[in-house]
Structure 1
Amino acid sequence: MAMLKIEHLKKQYGNFSLDCSLEVKRGYITGLIGQNGAGKSTTFKAVLGLISADGGKINILGKDLREFTAEDKESLGVVLSDSGFGGYLTIKDLIPIMKSLYKSFDDSSFMDQARRFQLPTDKKINDFSTGMKAKLKVLIAISHDARLLILDEPTLGLDVIARDELLEMLRKFMEENEERSILISSHISSDLETLCDDIYMIHEGKVILHEDTDVLLSDYALLKVTEEQFSQIDKQYILRFKKEAYGYSCLTRQKQYYIENYPEVAIDQGTIDEVILMMIRGEKL
């Protein structure tokens, strides 16, 4: 069973048009990656019922979103970039609030995790650093035995160490129970390539690529070819191409085919950033 299935979710804002389909499988960490304004936050808010969709279907934990109850929502852990608790509260102040919201909230585990991640329990949240606030948001999301986490840009604005600590929280959350899943968005590809099982790329409201992360990192590559090589090369496995000063840069998901058949061609391992760039700016044949 898919933990979340979105089919042609549509939303129109002026010139922006969203048409998104994606699926989060049980036990998977699925990444949604794209530039700011690509449609990531709109998708998340529609899934959570915070904005109304213009069309499409959303099925979450086996239920149509329209039938999803307040009790069902206890199975979700959510981090949105523009949400958070009042800044005048402390972590200790949050415990009775969380207990009233979630039946399965584990206050002792919550406090243990807060100390482990060096979050002061008596300090006002207003006085937290950006990294502390981000870790607190995720800690709250994972503290009530959620089955599905929906995390919109949770690493935004964090330094490398804070990002690593936050991603480690998510790995541990998944290791504890194989029935859990995570949907996480980011425009920082390095976060997702080390964390996610599969990745969707969204651009201008449309999903332009979906791939298992292992395949993305092993089979995708950039061919650097001269004008002459470009005219002669077998183009059936070329996804996108772009004119360069030396000739052409070509994106393929069949790296091995070109290694074996075109040993004279320069082949670079494509990073996720380069794949995104080629899928957005490259031309189709």
Structure 2
Amino acid sequence: MLKVKHLKKNYASFSLDCSLEVKPGYVTGLIGQNGAGKSTTFKAILGLIQCDGGSIEIFGQSALNEEDKQLLGVVLSDSGFSGYLTISDIIPILENLYKRFDKSFFLRMVNQFELPKNKKIKEFSTGMKAKLKIIVAMSHQAQLLILDEPTAGLDVIARDELLDMMRDYMAKDDQRAILISSHISSDLETLCDDVYMIHNGQVIMHEDTDVLLSEYALLKVDDQQFEQLDKAYILKYKKESYGYSCLTHQKQYYRENYPNIVLENSHIDDVMTMMIRGEKS
């Protein structure tokens, strides 16, 4: 569906070198801190900025024709319709932009999420604007959604509603796919099939979400336990007041061989913090 190999973009104070793949039927997450390179990657994929190297394939092609572009649904964090338009105003725009625009689906979703059709978009709340962006991206039967920080700035309820929209979108066609970025990594635990972690323009981890949540763990050990610990399966460690916290991707090994140490199941936030702030063993 989408293959990115060593995508490079150089700025004065930042360099991107990113590789990732999005498979049909997959929701793939790109997580990282603000400024890690998520938006730069998305803009390069979409051809909005010129790349300095690497390759991008979408639907098996390096250059998209107009017909293939119709199969993309895009939400960018810094783009949207003019605030002076209403939903009623943008319907004819969408009908002209997309050959497969589904007006009945669009209006059904607008009604479901109680978005006012004749109110100017600039008067919408942050959550209403975010919902409208997602509805537009889904309204023309796109095969691949590219969503850059679609839940940023939203409260918990609004974020949950948007995630449900994405699940419904994927459930209707097993050949669809989503690439979604977020710095709120906990949002992606129940949505994504796999996750790429990016830091300072580099992908530092790629893992299936199920594996990350079931096999990764944090070990909490004192200084003596740390010295005696087999570090063969320790990815990163960090000094703490009680001793050390250690990130492992082989939870069962330490559970069986070190029954007296504290072992906690990790979440994506824990893994990201350790991978970025921890030291390599």
TM-score (norm 2): 0.99
Give 1:186's match in structure 2, choosing from 182, 186, 193. 182
Q: Does 1:110 align with 2:106?
A: yes
CA contact (8 A) 2:18 2:203 kept: yes
C-alpha separation in 2, matches of 1:95 and 1:218: 45
Counterparts of 1:208 and 1:86, CA distance in 2: 37
The count of corresponding residues between Structure 1 and Structure 2 is: 281
Structure 2 residue corresponding to 1:252, chosen from 224, 229, 248: 248
Structure 2 partner of 1:140: 136
- CA displacement at 1:104 relative to structure 2: 0.3
What are the superposed Cα offsets for residues 101-126 of structure 1, whole Å, 9 maximum, x if unpaired?
A: 10000111110110001111111111
Deviations 1:99-150, CA, capped at 9 Å, x for gaps: 1110000111110110001111111111111100000000000000000000
Take 2:238 and 2:84, find their aligned partners in 1: how far apart are those partners?
Answer: 52
1:20 aligns with 2:18: yes
1:5 aligns with 2:3: yes
Letter in structure 1 aligned against 2:185: S
- Aligned pairs for 1:56-205 (under 5 A) are 56-64=54-62, 67-205=63-201
Give the C-alpha shift of residue 71 in structure 1. Answer: 2.2
Shift of 1:83: 0.5
Alignment-mate amino acid for residue 116 of structure 1: Q
1:274 matched to which residue of 2? 270
**Equivalence for 2:27:** 29
TM-superposed CA distance for 1:255, in Å, is 0.5
8 Å contact from structure 2 (residues 36, 198) kept in 1: yes
Question: 2:160, 2:229 → 1: CA distance?
Answer: 42
- Letter matched to residue 234 of structure 1: D
| AA aligned opposite 2:56 | I
Q: Distance in 1 between matches of 2:70 and 2:176?
A: 14
Deviant stretches of 4+, over 6 Å = none
User: Contact between 2:77 and 2:148, CA under 8 Å: does it hold in 1?
Assistant: yes
Q: Does the residue aligned with 1:134 lie in a helix, a strand or coil?
A: helix
The amino acid across from 1:45 in the alignment is K
Map of 2:50 onto structure 1: 52
In structure 1, list runs of 5 or more residues that go unmatched: none
Per the alignment, in what secondary structure is the counterpart of residue 118 of structure 2?
A: coil
- Please say if 1:234 is aligned against 2:230: yes
Q: 5+ unaligned residues in a row in structure 2: which ranges?
A: none
Residue 66 of structure 2 aligns to a residue whose secondary structure is: coil
Q: Which stretch of the first structure deviates more once superposed, 91-100 or 38-47?
A: 91-100
How far, CA to CA, are the matches of 2:47 and 2:13 in structure 1? 22
Q: In the aligned structure 2, how far is the partner of 1:171 from the partner of 1:83?
A: 23
Deviation at 1:236, TM superposition (A): 0.6
Q: TM-score, normalised by structure 1?
A: 0.97
Cα deviation 1:81-108 (Å, max 9, x = unaligned): 1110111111111111001110000111
Please report how far the alpha carbon of residue 29 of structure 1 lies from its aligned counterpart in structure 2 after TM superposition: 0.2
Give the partner amino acid of 2:161: E
Q: What is the one-letter code of the residue matched to 1:74?
A: Q
Whether the aligned pair in 1 keeps the contact of 2:3 and 2:57 (CA below 8 Å) is yes
Q: Distance in 1 between matches of 2:82 and 2:241?
A: 53
SS at match of 1:71: helix
RMSD between aligned alpha carbons? 0.7
Q: Aligned partner of 1:240: which letter?
A: K
